[in-house]
Amino acid sequence: MLGELVVLKEGVYEEIRQARSLHELEEIRIKYLGRKGIFTSVFKCLVRIPKEERKEIGRLANEIKNKVEALISKKKTKIKRREEDFLKRSSIDITLSPPLPDIAKKHPLTKVLDEIIVIFEGLGFQIEEGPEVESSYYNFDALNIPASHPARDMHDTFYITDEVLLRTHTSPVQIRVMERTKPPIRIIVPGKVYRRDADISHSPMFHQVEGLLVDEDTSFAELKGVLTLFVHRIFGEETRIRFRPSFFPFTEPSAEIDISCVMCKGNGCGVCKTTGFVEILGAGMVDPEVFKAVGYDPERFSGFAFGMGVERIAMLKYGIDNIRLFFENDLRFLEQF
Ligand code: PHE
């Protein structure tokens, strides 16, 4: 009996030492100290032991039982304290502000378009719009691009029927506005245009902003002034600007406008093909044939027009090398603006 008590003692001490939770500890307590527990049966056995040994064994059993009670209560305190510490360290701070949800930002094209519009509105230009599905008359004929004209090949047009197409530029809105109003006219026309073209700098759909000013004596000098101011506002005062003679059927004389390369500051790089300049605008004085098409007297009125690609300006402004990035809606790209 004495040996059994020693084994029992070692076993229960070890179990208490191993206990990790209050629940485990309670199970141990029930197992040993409960009404039907091991110590109850030990004391029941005592009656069967010869009297001389009974006293000694009883005393030892009592001692072990008391020790077990003490150990369990000590361990209980220890586990409780550990749990409290853990809660203190990891507890939820309800005064903490919750993380903010992702807030939508403006698309880089919208940002650039907004900037362009603000600059021209400051110069007294008003916004006009026109249809994206256009007739070949407005897109070509009225702009002095007859069917036989080689310039019609300049545009890779999406035709819907022989007479109906997706506009290849915003210039048809010049005609629509001149048809319904009289000079002075001072408008800009932002909008989508379509061409059969797709590579890293061309997309089948892209955005243009057209400008048109018509009055009694408008000069090329004014055109230069307006566009120079625009370039300086959008790309910075240090940007140099170059007017290069060019051709458009609806303007005469015509020019293409280059700016010093924003990437290399004019030193020559891959973007400007080592020329130090990049093209950003087409422009010119409104061709008399266009005035005739809308019933304006070309002897009395003069004007200038210009057109620019919004994607191109955004690409140069932000150093984006692939036009597709604008249309893929990849948040990793969009979140940078
Ligand atoms: N419409 C021309 C284009 O799309 C740009 C332009 C507009 C040129 C107005 C001159 C005047 O290329």
pLDDT tens digit sequence for 119-148: 999 999 999 999 999 999 999 999 999 888
Q: Looking at the whole model, is its pTM more than 0.75?
A: no
Question: What gap in Å lies between CA 7 and CA 249, rounded to an integer?
Answer: 109
CB 309 less than 6 A from any atom of ligand 1: no
55 pLDDT higher than 70: yes
- pLDDT for residue 219: 97
Ligand 1 pocket: which of 153, 154, 218, 250 to mutate (most atoms within 8 A of CB): 250
Pair of tokens at residue 161: 């029927």
- pLDDT for residue 162: 86
CA of 211, closest atom in ligand 1: 9
CB 266 less than 6 A from any atom of ligand 1: no
CB 144 less than 6 A from any atom of ligand 1: no
CB 169 less than 6 A from any atom of ligand 1: yes
What are the distances in angstroms from CA 328 to CA 198, 208, 312, 325?
14, 19, 17, 5
CB 175 less than 6 A from any atom of ligand 1: no
| 235 CA → ligand 1 middle, Å | 20
Half-sphere exposure (Cβ direction) of 248: Cα atoms closer than 13 Å: 26
- pLDDT for residue 249: 95
Distance from first CA to last CA of the chain, Å, rounded? 83
CB of 275 closer than 8 Å to CB of 268: yes
CA of 169, closest atom in ligand 1: 4
| 293 CA → ligand 1 middle, Å | 17
pLDDT tens digit sequence for 256-293: 999 998 888 888 888 888 888 999 999 999 999 999 99
CB 251 less than 6 A from any atom of ligand 1: yes
- Indicate the pLDDT class of residue 100, thresholds 50, 70 and 90: confident
